[in-house]
Amino acid sequence: MIPAKRPLAQPPRWQQAWREAVTDPRELLALLGLSAHAGDLLAPADAGFALRVPRGFIARMRKGDPRDPLLLQVLPQAAELGEVPGFSRDAVGDLGARAAHGVLHKYQGRALLIATGSCAINCRYCFRRHFPYAEETAAAHHWEAALAYLREDASIGEVILSGGDPLSLATAKLAELGEALARIPHVRRLRIHSRLPVVLPERIDHEFVHWLAHLPLQRVLVVHANHPNEIDAGVEHACAALREAGVSLLNQSVLLRGINDSVAALAALSERLFAAGVLPYYLHLLDRVQGTAHFEVDEIRALALADGLRRTLPGYLVPRLVREVAGAPCKTPVGHRVAMAQCAGIE
Ligand SMILES: *Cc1c(COP(=O)(O)O)cnc(C)c1O
Ligand code: SF4
């Protein structure tokens, strides 16, 4: 018997929004009424890391403002081309830390899976601009190699999905992993690191929320917003749906010169996040990646900002200021590096 032809299922709406992202810097500037500023652009051919930004995120940028803090996170600029000493291509040592196909196991009890290389947005400050992630994803072959690694090591209680952006994978693909993880007795928690709830909140659709709500593991989602203007009603709605599904929500930010390097901006970010049900987690110093030096805030200024935040906010709204140090056993608190060195060896 010939099976009846079924109509092709509609792709989820978020995938449509994903595909409609703006990739031409001139179009982005035109949408913001900034066509006269095209002269400072990095020619696309030289960028090596294309512009990519969802339209919903552009809608949160201020029209006519070339210094808009959301625009500056995504716009390729000539400043990226300078080679600056101390800024390298693999600043965080990830290339040397692979434990298995797509698995980074640097810290005790937690293993990080590079689920995919793709993102809905290309953030100019990101280390991903040089990392050959595409051929190193844990999702290859139904997560086979990554799962074998996780099953073997009973010290791993938490699996972290990162990337790229793991929520760029279809929910069915994530569900495949979730099912397999739930069968590993020592894995108690699934943590997802994703910028999508902020930059493309359509991703948090019914299918995804339903999957998370029924996953028999504790669930943590670490979103990534750098500035209070990133959080609009769509983001709040997505966060509310996740919380209803029993997901703990945290945020990580990167401290970025000219974007969020003031006590006022950071305090407003914490307040906006908390109003959306998200607790601030980490404030990262920039990874010293080639092409990003113009975003760097030095440690002294970063410490002063953290101090300002402690004077302004309740303690639970102050993110931990950290830096990633290649080879270190955890994210390193800024200003505590000397103490850490002195304590080395204490169990
Ligand atoms: C950042 C990171 C983690 C998570 O660290 P937490 O301090 O638990 O948030 C885990 N593994 C790797 C490889 C990391 O880079
Ligand atoms: S990994 Fe995160 S910071 Fe990097 S480009 Fe993707 S969304 Fe942006």
Query: Do 52 and 144 belong together in one domain?
Result: no
Choose among 316, 295, 255: nearest CA to 75: 295
Is the residue at 85 inside a domain?
no
Q: How far, in Å, CA of 97 to CA of 106, rounded?
A: 7
CA of 247 to the centre of ligand 2 (A): 21
Q: Do residue 18 and residue 44 come from a single domain?
A: yes
| Among 233-237, 249-253, 259-263, 325-329, the least confident range | 325-329
Which residue's structure tokens are 């305090």?
267
**Closest-lying ligand 2 atom to the alpha carbon of residue 196:** 7
**Residue 326 confidence class, pLDDT cut points 50, 70, 90:** confident
d(Cα 2, Cα 26) in Å, to the nearest integer?
A: 51
Task: Return the CATH number at 226.
Answer: 3.20.20.70
pLDDT of residue 145: 93
The larger pLDDT score, comparing residue 177 to residue 83, is at 177
Q: What is the rounded CA–CA span in Å between residue 83 and residue 73? A: 19
- Substitution site in 95, 107, 155 for ligand 1 pocket (most atoms within 8 Å of beta carbon): 107
Residues 6+ apart with CB under 8 A from 100: 145, 146, 148, 149
Identify the domain boundary among 80, 109, 134. Answer: 80
- 5 within domain boundaries: no
Length of the chain: 347
Does residue 128's CB lie within 6 angstroms of at least one atom of ligand 2? yes
CB atoms under 10 Å from CB of 342, counted, come to: 9
Structure tokens at 37: 């500023």
In the chain, the percentage of residues whose pLDDT exceeds 70 is 88
Can you tell me the mean pLDDT for 158-181?
96
Residue 9 CA to ligand 1 centre (angstroms): 37
Residue 38 belongs to a domain? yes
Residue 314 burial (10 A CB sphere; 0-12, 13-18, 19+):
exposed
For tokens 């081309």, the residue is: 81
Whether residues 196 and 121 share a domain: the answer is yes
Report whether pLDDT(155) > 90.
yes
Q: Do the bridges between strand 189-193 and strand 158-162 make them parallel or antiparallel, or are there none, so unpaired? A: parallel
Is the beta carbon of 109 within 6 A of some atom in ligand 1?
no
49 and 151, same structural domain? no
The whole-angstrom separation of Cα 259 and Cα 288 is 17
* Ligand 2 atom index nearest CA of 195: 7
Residues 138 and 213 both lie in one domain: yes
Q: Are residues 125 and 220 in the same domain?
A: yes
In a domain, 256, yes or no: yes
The domain boundary residue, chosen from 80, 105, 138: 80
Residues 222 and 265 in one domain: yes
> What's the pLDDT score for residue 338?
47
What is the tally of structural domains in the chain? 2
The predicted-structure confidence for 74-127, as pLDDT tens digits, reads as follows 999 888 888 888 888 766 666 556 666 889 999 999 999 999 989 999 999 997
Percent of the chain with pLDDT over 90: 73
User: Rounded mean pLDDT of the chain?
Assistant: 90
3-state per-residue secondary structure call for 237-289: HHHHHHHHCCCEEEEEEECCCCCCCCHHHHHHHHHHHHHCCCEEEEEECCCCE
For residue 121 and ligand 2, the question of a CB distance below 6 A is answered with: yes
Q: Are residues 66 and 99 in the same domain?
A: no
The Å distance, Cα 333 to ligand 1 centre, comes to: 13
Q: Is residue 209 part of a domain?
A: yes
Q: What is the pLDDT of residues 206-248, one digit of tens each?
A: 999 999 999 999 999 999 999 999 999 999 999 999 999 999 9
Domain that holds residue 140: 95-342
Based on the domain organization, do 75 and 140 belong to the same domain? Answer: no
Q: How confident is the model at residue 304 (pLDDT cuts 50, 70, 90)?
A: very high
Question: Which of 92, 105, 106, 325 to probe ligand 1 with, by most ligand atoms within 8 A of CB?
Answer: 106
Confidence bin at 340 (pLDDT 50/70/90): low
Q: What is the pLDDT of residues 33-80, one digit of tens each?
A: 999 888 777 765 456 788 999 999 999 999 999 999 999 999 998 888
Question: Rounded to an integer, what distance in angstroms lies between the CA atom of residue 301 and that of residue 286?
Answer: 13
Contacts of 40 (CB under 8 A, 6+ apart): 77, 78
Residue ending a domain, among 21, 54, 80, is 80
Say if pTM beats, i.e. exceeds, 0.75. yes
Residue 337 counted as domain residue: yes
Answer yes or no: is the C-beta of 110 below 6 A from any ligand 1 atom: yes
Is 64 in the same domain as 160? no
Instruction: Check pocket membership of 219 for ligand 2, CB cut-off 6 A.
Output: no
Identify whether residues 248 and 149 lie together within a single domain.
Answer: yes
What does the block give as tokens for 121? 């947005």
Q: Based on the number of CB atoms within 10 Å of its own CB, is 181 exposed (0-12), middle (13-18) or buried (19 or more)?
A: buried
Q: Which atom of ligand 2 is nearest to the CA of 128?
A: 4
- 3-class secondary structure, 147: helix
Per-residue confidence (pLDDT) for residue 266, from 0 to 100: 98
82-110 burial, b at 16+ Cβ within 10 Å, e below that, comes to eeeeebbebbbebeeeeebbbbbbbeeeb
Question: Is residue 86, in this structure, part of any structural domain at all?
Answer: no
Say if residue 34 is in the same domain as residue 162. Answer: no
Can you give the pLDDT at residue 173? 96
164 preceded by a cis bond (ω within 30 of 0): yes
- Does residue 198 form part of some domain? yes
pLDDT (0 to 100) of residue 3: 53
